[in-house]
Structure 1
Amino acid sequence: MAGWASKLGGEMIEPSATPRGLFHSYVRREPIGVAAQIVPWNFPLLMAVLKISPALAAGCTVILKPAEQTSLTALRLADFLNEAGVPPGVVNIITGNGHTAGDRLVRHPDVDKVAFTGSTEVGKIINRTATDSLKRVTLELGGKSPVIVLPDVDPAVAGPGTAQAIFFNSGQVCVAGSRLYAHKSVFDKVLENFAEAAAFWQPRASLDPDGHMGPLVSDEQFNRVMGYIEDGKKAGASVMLGGDTPASEGGYYVNPTVLVDVKPDMRVVREEIFGPVVVAQRFDDLDEVARQANDTTFGLAAGIWTNNLSAMHKLAAKLKAGTVWGNCHSMIDPALPFGGYKESGLGREQGRQGVEAYTELKSVIIAL
């Protein structure tokens, strides 16, 4: 992001409604001002840095509110920023609950922009509140991301890849591949390889060097995830894998879980669970799976697994998602804009667009 600070130029524009040579005009891109940034608990350091860096590159000052579950990470980051020479008052960290500290930030008359990453429910509240003073708002919200496996791909490749898409960070990821669609001709084989790969993601203590999936963040999140699993079973879903907690671990651990025999109207299919739970479904052709994948209020991300580059591009164009990955997942780069369609957010973060979101445009017209 540091490189963008010298690349946010304006532009010279010749007026079109007046005789040439009578006016000089140009467009300035200026810092928006004070940015209030509210970040979640699932990647506390990464999310703080991704929020702060574009704002500083654009010339703004920042008030960052970390999630109450992970506030110490942001406070330690503030120490590093001070050591690096960031002037006092440029980056400010406040802690507190969302309904108190967060709400005050969004309402404050001296805040010019609000950037929030978190649930769609809270994002809507923030957007409504910020609308009272017409603050600029960027929202990166929830997802229910589809991962699609076409019939030509090797199940031995797609199985581990789609498992990583959902089980990374215990499924506590906004782009987690929580809806798995595999072509009917390879469905069983993909799930077989998926289940084998799930052994790699068995829950372990966070500091265990052999562990790859730790606990959920809190008892509230643990109860939420287990509640969704039980709700899915009551609605008719079958547990192909997991659905329980490991006997050998105490704490908020949930085993990698696969639900099959699901229907489109089930809550486990439609709502963001934010845990290591995937629903697996069959499909017949590209048009059908595109309709299934798009049948959601979310639109943050999607994944496609195939060796057919033509099918990859055709399907990517059909999917209503802000990011589409091919034969990979969760590959997020600061050079590329990131954000969602529909109820997965407003605006974009990262890339040029993410930096420009912290600026305002000013037209200047001078008579000669």
Structure 2
Amino acid sequence: MEGCTTQNEIHQEEKERAGSSEGEQTDPKERDLRLVLLGSAGSAKSTAVDAILGGPKSESDCSSGPETPAAADCQKRRVNVAGRQVAVVDTPDCLCVERPSEEVRRQFSLCAALSAPGPHAFLLCVPVHRPSNLELQILETLEKVFGPEAVSRHAMVLFTHMERLPEDVSLDEYLNTHRADLLELVLKCGGRHHPLWPEANMEELLEKVEQMLKESGTGFYTCPLLQEAERRVGEKEQEILRSRRGGGESDSDVTDVERIREEAERSVDDLVVEGIADLCLSIPNPSILRWLWDSVVGWLLWFPNMIRGSALLGSFVGLFVGGPLGGAMGATVGSVATEMGRRKQKTK
């Protein structure tokens, strides 16, 4: 994206700021391998988070705070994997589907702040047995918010529900011969993918992330939104330090770098995210949906001869409503129409 500075320049600025404000202590964001996990509902994203962290919240710090609902907000947890400090930023399902624009903006702000100065990798959790429509939508959203290279150079597909893979078929064979839609996701991510098996060894995944970074030639991914997030987090860190020193707190409290960093990250939730209105799906008013449903059912009752076109009718409803909700509603209407048709045939 235009206006980006190099990762080396950002690293240098971080080191200078850390050296001036925290003495000889190591800045936590310099040690972390930052991974942002994305996925739709049912993608086993929480399973992937736990696998990377070694179990549900085991040996990890939950920096979302006790008042933050785990499933509602972006949150970050840390763990040491094979001698490497790993920070996992867990995002809400789909991050933006059917959410108000203000909530979408807040979640992207949190995601940027928690992964600032920039993620080393975006991991997209994809169920190996499901269509890829929602996952393609997530990649498109990622490109719009963070830039095309976030996907092409710093994203990887993490296949989940691997137990649903057909027996005696390798993952690569499955992608190449049976699932062109999933293969498209992998190709958008530069051909990078990793299967998440039960009891998987996470070292292999981290090695693939390290290899991706070598191939990209960058230390981590950055863009204007992430740079602004890092600037705001840095300002908040200094504000917290001044407040604690002025309040007469002990040196150990004042210089607790990781806690100060976490508090600063959680406070940045109001960044300007371009194109939010385009990212949010418009949800029809419930009263309109009710009217539409009653109208469709009434139509079916009064015009039984139209039942033969049940599939067409369901498709029409799905198209009219739009989005995932429309698809589900269209399928339901089609099923109702088909069943009514069968019952009518039995009564003849």
TM score, norm. by length of structure 1: 0.23
Structure with more of its chain in helix, by fraction: 2
Larger Rg: 2
Structure with more of its chain in strand, by fraction: 1
